[in-house]
Structure 1
Amino acid sequence: MRKKIFVTKQGGIGDVILATPILSELKKQYPDSYITLMIFSNAYDIVKGLPFIDEIFIYNKKKDGFLKLWNKMRGYDIAIYLDLSYRPALAGALARIPIRIGVSHKRGFWLTKEIPWQSYMDHTYEPYVMGDIVNAGLGLNISHEALNRLYIASATEFDKKDLAKKLNDSGVKMGGRYIVSSPITAFYLKNWPLDNWNELFKKIYHNYGLKNVIFGKEKLDYQWDEKAVIDLCGMLSLRQLGELVRNADLLVNSCSMPIHLSAATGTPCVVLYGYTDPCRWAPRMHCKIVKSDLPCSPCDGYHGSKCTDPLCMKRLSVEEVYKSCQEILSNDF
C-alpha cells in the first residue's frame, strides 16, 4: 500500500532548502510514497517542481483555521516534524496519524516517537541532525554523505531570459564572469559592516576584474563603488537568485539563505561566521570559512543568544576575507 508522508518545515527559506536532501532520501527509501511538504509561502517558489515532493501545503496559522490543518493531515501514515511547531503535532495526533516523529520540545505528548534535543545537535550540520531524527524515528540508515547535496527548483525560461537582460543592462553578459553577495541578512548579529563589503568588492575588482552582483530583498541606503558593484537588490525572484548563484564564479556571504543556494548549485562560497556555528550551518563542499576567534563565538544555539553587539563579525578583516576569496579565484585563472 502506498505510504503517505506529511513533512513539516516551517521557517526561513534557507531552513527549507536544508531540508530538501531529507525529502529526496525519503523518496528513495519509499519510492511509491506520496510526500507532502508543509511550509510557509515564502519558500514556495524555491521547492515547487522538485521531483521528490508530490505536494506543497502552505499553512499560515494567523490566516488559516486549525480545522484546515487537521483535515489536511487526515489519512497520512507518517508525520515528520522537522521544525518545532506545536500545532501540526496536535493536528497530526487528532488526525490519528499512526507514526509521528520529531524533536520532543513542548509537544512531546503528541508524538509517537520523541527525539530529545542533544547537545551535539547545536554543533552538527543541520541536514545531518534532521537525518538523525528521521533515522531514529523510522529505523532508517540515511548516511550523512547523502545529505551533503541540497536542492532548489530550476528557473523557468522566462526567469532566465529576464535575469540575462538585467545582467546585460548592467554590463555583464549571461555566461560572463562575476561574483555574488547579499551583504545584509535578516538578522543584525550576522551582518558585516557595509564599508567592509565595499572595500572587499573593490579589491576583487581591482585584482581580478570581476564585478560583484549584490542582491537582497530591497535596496540599501548605501553608496556602492560604481565600477565594482552591480546592484540588483529588490529586482530578482527566488528562482532567479538560484540561477544567478548557479552561474557565478563565487558567492561571498555571511551565514544566511544564499549560502544554501551555493550548496544546491555547486558554486564555491566564502562564508563569514561569528554569531552562528559553521559546524552546523556551513555547506559541506566547496566552502571556505572565515570565522572570529572570540571565545564567545559562536553563541547561536538551541537556547538562543543574549548578544546585542556582533563584535565577532566586526573583527573580521577585509584582508582575511579577501585571502579566502583569492584562494578560490586564483584556482580558476
Structure 2
Amino acid sequence: MQKILIVHTGGGLGDVLLSTPVIEALKLNYPEAQIDFMARPYTSAAIKNNPFIHTIYTVDKEKMSWSEAFSWSRKLAKQKYDAALVLWSNSPLAFMLYFARIPIRVGQDSRFSYSWTYTHKVRIRSEHGDEQSHWSDVMLDYVRALNIPVPQLKPRFVIPETAIHKAKQLMQALPQNSGPIIGLHPSKGISNVAKIWPTSVFADWLKALYQQLQARLVVTGGPQERDITTKIIEEAQVPCLNLAGETDTEALAAVAKQCQVFICPDSSPAHLAAISGVPTLDIFALKSDFPNRWKAVGAPVVVIRPTTWKCQRICCKEKCPDFSCYKQIDGQQIVEGVKQLLQSDIQTES
C-alpha cells in the first residue's frame, strides 16, 4: 500500500489519543506508505505532531452532512488512496469512502444502513459484552482486519519544544514549599456542569495533599473551566497555581510532564499525562465508567473508584444532577494513591 487514510471524527481528544497505535501499526507494516488522518479541529491536536502522519484533514462536525460527505468523496477520489480505516463510523463517512472508490475500506460491522459499504468489517468488542479490553487495543482490531501482524503498541503524543518552554515559564509561579509537584485537573470535560460540579470534594483533595505531603499544587483546566478551578482553590485555602485557560493541548501535556504525579477524573488530560510518562492517579467515580477500557496507559497508573454508589440504577454523566459519586472518594484516598505513585516499585501499566 502506498496511501492510507485514517478517519476518526467522533468522540473526544482522548478517543483520538487512544487510536494512535493504529497509526504506528500501519507504519510498521507499510513503512513507505503515506498515512493521512481526518479528525475534528479540536481532536486533531492529538496527532498534530505525530511523526507518522503526512496530512491532516479537519471537518467541523462528528457527523457531516450528506452534501459534505459527497464533496469530500470527490476530493478523496483524486488522492487515490489504497485503503481507508474509519475508527468511528456513521453513514455519511461510510458512503464518503464508498463513493471515493477507495479499494480497501475498513469499518464497523452490525450497522444495517452502512456496514455493507465496507470491504473489511470490524466487530466492536465493547458492543458484545467485553468490558475488559482496553480501548487502544480495540482500535487495533481495525488493523488486524487487514490480516497483518500487530504488535503490542502504546498511544503516542509528541510534545514540541515550544510547549515545553511555555510550561517551564508557567510553572515558575508554582508555590515554593518543599513537597512533590502534584497536578490536578478537576474536571471531566462535560458541558454546562459548573453550577453542580462538586468543587468541595476537589478542594478537600488539595487540602489533604498540602497538609500531609506539603505538595506543590498546580490546577489545570480549559478556559471554560476557570470558574470551577478558581472556586476549588478558594475553598481549599491552600497555595495553588491556577493554570486553567493558560494552556492548549500541547502545553497541558508539558505542564503535566513537570509534575511528579498528575490527578484527573477519567478524561483526556489523564491520557496526556500518562502517555507523556507521568505517574497518573486516574479517578473513575461514575457508576457508568469502565476503568479497564479507559484507564490511562503509558506510565505508572493507580485507579481509584468507589465501591458503592447512591445514584439511580442508570448512570448517565451528561444528565447527572449532582455528581455525588465523587463524594465517595475522600482526601485520604487521594493521598494514599499519590504516595503509591511516588514509590519507585510501581509497575507501568500496559
Q: Is TM-score (shorter-chain normalized) higher than 0.5?
A: yes
Match of 2:27 in 1: 27
Distance (Å, rounded) in 2 between the aligned partners of 1:153 and 1:253: 20
**Cα distance, 1:212 vs structure 2:** 1.9
Match of 1:17 in 2: 17
Secondary structure of 1:72's counterpart equals: helix
Q: Decide whether aligned partners of structure 1 residues 125 and 177 sit closer, same or farther in structure 2, where only a CA change above 3 A counts.
A: same
Match of 1:140 among 137, 148, 151: 148
**Cα distance, 1:232 vs structure 2:** 0.6
**Cα distance, 1:122 vs structure 2:** 4.3
Consecutive unaligned residues in structure 1, runs of 5 or more: none
Consecutive unaligned residues in structure 2, runs of 5 or more: 346-350
CA contact (8 A) 1:272 1:291 kept: yes
Match of 1:211 in 2: 216
Match of 2:326 in 1: 313
Sequence identity (%): 21
CA contact (8 A) 1:59 1:69 kept: no
Does residue 1:82 correspond to 2:87, yes or no? yes
CA contact (8 A) 1:35 1:54 kept: yes
Match of 1:97 in 2: 102
Distance (Å, rounded) in 2 between the aligned partners of 1:107 and 1:243: 41
Match of 1:124 in 2: 133
User: Scaled by the length of structure 2, what TM-score is found?
Assistant: 0.82
Secondary structure of 2:84's counterpart equals: strand
Q: Which amino acid aligns with 1:231?
A: N
**Cα distance, 1:123 vs structure 2:** 3.6
Secondary structure of 1:38's counterpart equals: strand
Q: Which amino acid aligns with 2:13?
A: I
**Cα distance, 1:52 vs structure 2:** 0.9
**Cα distance, 1:110 vs structure 2:** 1.5
Secondary structure of 1:319's counterpart equals: helix
Does residue 1:182 correspond to 2:185, yes or no? yes
Match of 1:281 in 2: 294
Distance (Å, rounded) in 1 between the aligned partners of 2:5 and 2:120: 15
CA contact (8 A) 1:254 1:271 kept: yes
Two-structure CA RMSD over aligned residues (Å): 3.0
Match of 1:244 among 244, 255, 260: 255
User: Scaled by the length of structure 1, what TM-score is found?
Assistant: 0.86
**Cα distance, 1:193 vs structure 2:** 2.5
Q: Which amino acid aligns with 1:252?
A: I
Does residue 1:44 correspond to 2:44, yes or no? yes
**Cα distance, 1:68 vs structure 2:** 3.6
Match of 2:117 among 98, 110, 113: 110
Q: Decide whether aligned partners of structure 1 residues 112 and 231 sit closer, same or farther in structure 2, where only a CA change above 3 A counts.
A: same
Secondary structure of 1:92's counterpart equals: helix
**Cα distance, 1:152 vs structure 2:** 1.3
Secondary structure of 1:212's counterpart equals: strand
Distance (Å, rounded) in 1 between the aligned partners of 2:146 and 2:87: 14
CA contact (8 A) 1:211 1:227 kept: no
Distance (Å, rounded) in 2 between the aligned partners of 1:110 and 1:305: 33
Q: How many residues align?
A: 321
In the TM superposition, 1:163-174 aligns within 5 A as: 163-171=167-175
Distance (Å, rounded) in 2 between the aligned partners of 1:230 and 1:155: 23
CA contact (8 A) 1:293 1:312 kept: no
**Cα distance, 1:84 vs structure 2:** 2.2
